[in-house]
Structure 1
Amino acid sequence: MASTAVACGAEEKLDAGAKVERAFERLGEERAVAVEFALDADADAVHAALKEGRDGKRGIDRAAAGILADLKLRYAVVSDEPPEERNGGEDAHRASAAGRLARKDGTILAELRSVDRRMYLRGDIKAFAAMAKPGNAADRSERRAFEEALKRIDRMPDSLAAVRDALKGKWVVLDAREFEEAAKRKRERDGDAGLFGEPDAKTRKRAADALRKALTDHAKTEDTGKRNGAEHVKVTVPARTAAGRLAEALKPLEKQLRAVGGGKDPGAPRKVPDKDVVFDVALKGGRLSAVTVDMAALDADIRAPLPLTVGFAGASVEADAPSGARKLSAREMTEALMRMMGVDADGLGGADRGL
C-alpha cells in the first residue's frame, strides 16, 4: 500500500507534458485498445466547413453534412499480449480486431470482427437508407430504385438466407479460405485490405508512435483543469509538424476515414497553415481518454471550425466471435448483388455459360 501511495503521489506531481507522455506509454502497454472517431459538430457546422471542396471543386451538400455529423467510426484490437510485444509474425493471428460504423445514437450501420482467423460481419442497409432524406426529384427517384432493390432482398431464395441476414443487421461468418484469397487479390490490385482491413502489429505500433510524437515533439503543454470527470491538458504544437505526424498515425485507417468522410480524408490535409495548432487531451486515471482538435487548423481547405474527437478505451474492449452467425460464401454474395441489380437466376446462369 505504501508503494502504491508513493507511486500515486509521484504521478500527481508530473507536469502537463509528462502526463501526456506517460498516458501514451500506458496506451502501448494495453492488451486491448479501441479508437473512436467522431466530429464534434452538427450538420450546419460540418456543411460550413466542407461545402467548398479542394481546388475550387464543389464540396459536400447539406444532406451529406448531416450524415457525416451523425457518424462515428470505431476500431479495436484485442490481443493476449501488449502491442509493444507483438511481432506481426507467427503470433499475428492471436490478435482479434473489430470495426464498427454507427450513428451517434448507437444505431449500428455496419460491423466487422476478425476472430481466430474467421471474419464476422453484419450491416443494416435500411438504417443506412434512413439517414438520407430525399431533397429533390432525382433523390426521390434514387430512393425508389433503392427500395426496389430492398424488395429483391426479401424475395431472395432460402439458399441466400445468409445474405438476407447480413443486410438486415444479423451476423454472418465468411468462408475464411475463400475470402482470404479474395482479400489477397484485392491487396495486390489496390494496395489495401478493404474497409476494415486489420493493420499488422508493426503498423499499429508505428501509428501509435506517430500519434505520440504529434502531441509531444516541440510541444507546449498546460494543465487546464478537470471537466466531465477528466483531467485536461492543452497541447500546442506547430501545425505542419503535427499534420505530418497525424497523417502517418492515421494511415492504417485511411480508407475507413475516407469512406466516413464522403471521400475526404482528415488524416491527409494538403494545405497546412504555417501556425500553431491546439489539441485538447483528456486523461482519466492517468490514461488517455480523448484528443480533440479543430481540423480547420490543420487544413486550409476546411473553411470553418471542424472539431474532431478521437476517443480511446483500453481494458474494457472486447472483440468476441458472435454466436448464431450463418456461413456466407463469395458465390452467394455475387449472386445476391446480381439479383439486387435485377438480374434473375436464369440471367446469372446465362452469364456463366457465356464466360
Structure 2
Amino acid sequence: MAAALIGGAAACGTVENLTAGQKVDRAFDRLGRERSLALELDVDATAARVRSLAAEADPDAELPLEVARLISDARISIAVRSTKPLEQSGDDDIAGVAVTVDTPEGALIEYRQVGDHLYYRVDAEALKDLTGAPLPSADDLPPEADAARKALQGEWIKIDRKKLDETKAGMKEMGGAPAPQPSLDAKAQKKLVKALRTVIAREVTFTSRDGEGDTEHITATAPLRTLLTSLFGQIRPLAGDLPPGLAELPTDEDLKDAPNRKVGADFTLTGGELTAVSIDLAELSERPSKGGKLPLVLRIDEAGRITAPAGATELDLEQMMPGLLGPGPAGEDPFPGEDPLAEEGLVP
C-alpha cells in the first residue's frame, strides 16, 4: 500500500516530486520482491528528552522515569523469511518469523515462528518491575504446570501450531473464541488506496538531497491539519465500506485545533534500496517542541537465519483449556491456589 501511495503522489507532482516520489516508490517495490526482511524500530533520543517532550505535551502529567528509559532504550526487531517474494507470500509460505523487544539489560520479550511451532520467552521479572502488575510465583504453581513455571523463570516455551488452531476452533464452537478482527475487503481497500493517493498527491511535497556515496535522503512534508482534514474528507464518503470501529472518523470541527505546522518523513535510500525511515514525533505534538527532535527510526535490512531455540518446553494446551474455560467436570480448579489477579480486583 505504501508503494501505491507514494507512486500516486509522484505521478501528480512537480518534476522534483516526480523524481523523488518515484525513487521511494521503486524502493518500496523492491522490498516486496525480497524473500527476507529485517526491521529495527527505536526512538533516537535520551530518556530526559522523552520526558521533556511528554511534559511539554501535558504539563500536568509526569512520565515515570522507568517508562521514559524504556521508550529511549528499547529496540524492537522483526525478521521475516519466506519461500516466495514477500508481496506474494501467504501464511504457508513463511519460513520463519522472529520478534524481539530488547533493552540494554537484555531481551524483554522474544517470539519466533519456525516450522510447526511458535516459541515465546519473556523476562517476567523485568516486566513486573516495569508495569507493577502482580505475577504468581513459579514455586506456587502445581507440578503439571511445568511450562508455565518455565515461562515465569524466563525460559523458552513452545506451542504446536496445529494444536493451537484446533484449540481456537474448539473455543469458537463453545463461544469462547474472540471476535474476528475488523478487516477491509479487497473492494474497500482499493477505494481507500485511491482516496489516500489523491490526498498525498495534492498535499505532500517531496524533496531530495544527496548523502555520502550512493546514499540519498528524500523528505516528504505536509501541513498537519491540512493533511488530516483532506485525508478524512476523502475517507468519510467511504465510511459505509469500512468495518465497525474504523468508520468513526473525526469531523472537520474535531480537527480545527490540530496544529498546522509542517510534518514530514525522511526516507534513506542506499543504491536505490530503502534502508531507513525516520519520523520526528515532536512534530506531532499539539504544542511546538522547545527541546529539539524526537526521531522514531525504522531501519531496514535483509533478515539472517531464523532458528528454533534449543531446550524449549512445550505448553500443553489441553491441560490449559480447563483453566481458560472454567472448572473441570468435577468442579476442580486445575490450578489451585489464590489468584493474584483476583486479589487485585482485576478479575471476578
TM-score tier, shorter chain, comes to 0.5 to 0.7
Question: Which structure has the highest helix share of the two?
Answer: 1
Q: In the alignment, which residue of structure 2 is the partner of 1:62?
A: 65
291, 296, 301: which one aligns with 1:313 = 301
Q: In the alignment, which residue of structure 2 is the partner of 1:42?
A: 46
298, 316, 330: which one aligns with 1:329 = 316
Q: Displacement, 1:284?
A: 2.6
**Percent of residue pairs identical:** 29
Counterpart residue type for residue 44 of structure 2: D
CA distance in 1 between partners of 2:215 and 2:153 (Å):
38
Q: In the alignment, which residue of structure 2 is the partner of 1:267?
A: none
TM-score (norm 2): 0.62
1:4-83 correspondence runs (5 A): 15-51=19-55, 58=61, 60-83=63-86
Q: Which runs of 5+ in 2 are unaligned?
A: 1-17, 236-254, 325-332, 339-348
Given the alignment of the two structures, is residue 171 of structure 1 paired with residue 175 of structure 2, yes or no? Answer: no
- Secondary structure of 2:211's aligned partner: strand
282, 286, 309: which one aligns with 2:268 = 282
CA distance in 1 between partners of 2:304 and 2:288 (Å):
33
CA distance in 2 between partners of 1:117 and 1:313 (Å):
26
The one-character-per-residue Cα deviations of 1:135-188 (angstroms, maximum 9, x if unpaired) are xxxxxxx6xx96xx57x2145455333223323332211143453334976996
Sort the Cα spacing of 1:233 and 1:290 in 2 relative to 1 into closer, same or farther, 3 A: same
- Secondary structure of 2:145's aligned partner: helix
1:341-352 correspondence runs (5 A): 346-347=336-337
Q: Displacement, 1:238?
A: 4.1
Counterpart residue type for residue 324 of structure 1: G
Counterpart residue type for residue 100 of structure 2: R
The one-character-per-residue Cα deviations of 1:61-90 (angstroms, maximum 9, x if unpaired) are 33321222121222333211112223x4xx
Q: In the alignment, which residue of structure 2 is the partner of 1:294?
A: 280
Contact 2:99 2:112 in 1 (8 A): yes
1:32-181 correspondence runs (5 A): 32-51=36-55, 58=61, 60-86=63-89, 88=90, 92-95=91-94, 96-103=96-103, 105=104, 107-129=106-128, 149=135, 152-154=137-139, 156=141, 158-180=143-165, 181=167
- Secondary structure of 1:232's aligned partner: strand
CA distance in 2 between partners of 1:214 and 1:100 (Å):
36
- Secondary structure of 2:150's aligned partner: helix
Sort the Cα spacing of 1:171 and 1:69 in 2 relative to 1 into closer, same or farther, 3 A: same
Contact 2:322 2:334 in 1 (8 A): no
Q: Displacement, 1:120?
A: 1.0
- Secondary structure of 1:159's aligned partner: coil
The one-character-per-residue Cα deviations of 1:190-229 (angstroms, maximum 9, x if unpaired) are 6559xxxxx99x9xx99xx89x9699743321214239x9
Q: Displacement, 1:47?
A: 1.1
Q: Which runs of 5+ in 1 are unaligned?
A: 1-13, 133-141, 194-198, 249-269, 337-342, 349-355
Contact 2:142 2:336 in 1 (8 A): no
Counterpart residue type for residue 111 of structure 1: E
Contact 1:113 1:119 in 2 (8 A): yes
The one-character-per-residue Cα deviations of 1:247-284 (angstroms, maximum 9, x if unpaired) are x9xxxxxxxxxxxxxxxxxxxxx875323223222223
Sort the Cα spacing of 1:78 and 1:334 in 2 relative to 1 into closer, same or farther, 3 A: farther
Work out which of the two has the higher radius of gyration on C-alpha atoms and give 1 or 2.
Answer: 2
Sort the Cα spacing of 1:190 and 1:319 in 2 relative to 1 into closer, same or farther, 3 A: farther
The one-character-per-residue Cα deviations of 1:10-51 (angstroms, maximum 9, x if unpaired) are xxxx95444322211111111112322211111111112224
TM-score (norm 1): 0.61
Sort the Cα spacing of 1:57 and 1:116 in 2 relative to 1 into closer, same or farther, 3 A: farther
